[in-house]
Amino acid sequence: MSQKVTDLVAELLTDILEKHQLELVDVEYVKEGKNWFLRVFIDKDAGVDIEECSVVSEQLSEKLDETDPIPHVYFLEVSSPGAERPLKNEKDFLKSIGKHVNVKTYEPIEGSKEFEGTMLSYDPTEIKLSIKIKTRTKEITIPTEKVAKARLAVTFS
């Protein structure tokens, strides 16, 4: 059921986000403890503020009330994905070239399942990262079908 809900919510958001020149990053519909949460993550190049999140929340809430796709009580949260934004699609990966990212894989590559470094390139079949191991820099290629999760990573200098 949660996949259907997330797909429907993404569809309901299309016009709202277009009108406000915002982008949908992700939709989650999850149960935590005994509560259900519908989480919507939105963004734009300059970042989103609380006012934009509030407007999207109100407009989405109205549409959800009309269509009533969720049969039980849930909490609606609309927010920015934050500094460690998840990379979900090709557009996200392409925008992240040259940025610091964290990539987790389904199976080990060269003995590791987690990599953090600068994304050098992306194509639909692989990601290239420049990672630092102690004092040396190394380039690693990760096949995209092995990527479990990827996100921007915050670095502290």
State pLDDT tens for residues 14-35. Answer: 999 999 999 999 999 999 999 9
Domain of 131, CATH number, reads 2.30.30.180
Residues forming a β-bridge with 109: 112
Domain of 23, CATH number, reads 3.30.300.70
The verdict on 133 and 75 lying in the same domain is no
Q: Is 66 helix (H, G, I), strand (E, B) or coil?
A: helix
Residue 133 falls inside a structural domain: yes
At which of 53, 79, 105 does a domain end? 79
Is pTM beyond 0.85 here? no
Residues of the domain holding 65: 2-79
pLDDT in tens, 64-96: 999 888 888 999 999 998 888 889 889 899 999
Q: For the range 47-50, what are the long-range contacts, defined as Cβ-Cβ under 8 Å and sequence gap of 24 or more?
A: 47/80, 48/22, 48/80
At which of 79, 98, 130 does a domain end? 79
pLDDT in tens, 103-148: 999 999 999 999 999 999 999 999 999 998 888 999 999 999 999 9
What percentage of the chain has pLDDT greater than the value 90?
73
